[in-house]
Amino acid sequence: MRLKHFIETSKKTLFPTAPELDSAVNDIYQYPLQASAKDTLNRQIRSGISDDELAKLVMRLRDENMLCYVQEAVELQEPQIICSLGIFEG
């Protein structure tokens, strides 16, 4: 929520946020956080990190592929019959 608020307020300023921050926030909502990222972010938030520094930290974690478990979309395949068992009276 802090990052979304930071993005919204910075849009009204002379220096809006980078599009990478929008992508990072979208990743946070779409994918689960990695355990190390969750620990790092919780620790920094408890210590009173500023919104600007929090945004930089999130973007750095995303750049290093340490923010979320991002899974590529898997193409849906048609079901295949692996084995068929026919039972009939003889």
Spatial separation of the C-alpha atoms in residues 57 and 49, rounded to whole Å: 10
Residue 55 lies in a domain: yes
Mean pLDDT over 7-33 rounds to 78
- Quick one: pLDDT at residue 57? 92
Is residue 86 in a domain?
no
Q: Flag whether 33 is in a domain.
A: yes
Domain that holds residue 52: 2-63
Can you tell me the distance from the alpha carbon of 83 to that of 78, in angstroms, rounded to the nearest whole number? 15
| Domains held by the chain: number | 1
Is the residue at 7 inside a domain?
A: yes
Higher pLDDT, 75 or 7: 7
Chain segment 4-15, per-residue pLDDT in tens: 877 777 776 655
- With 0.75 as the threshold, say if the pTM is over it: no
Looking at the domain assignment, is residue 75 inside a domain? no
CA–CA distance, 49 with 41 (Å, rounded to integer) = 9
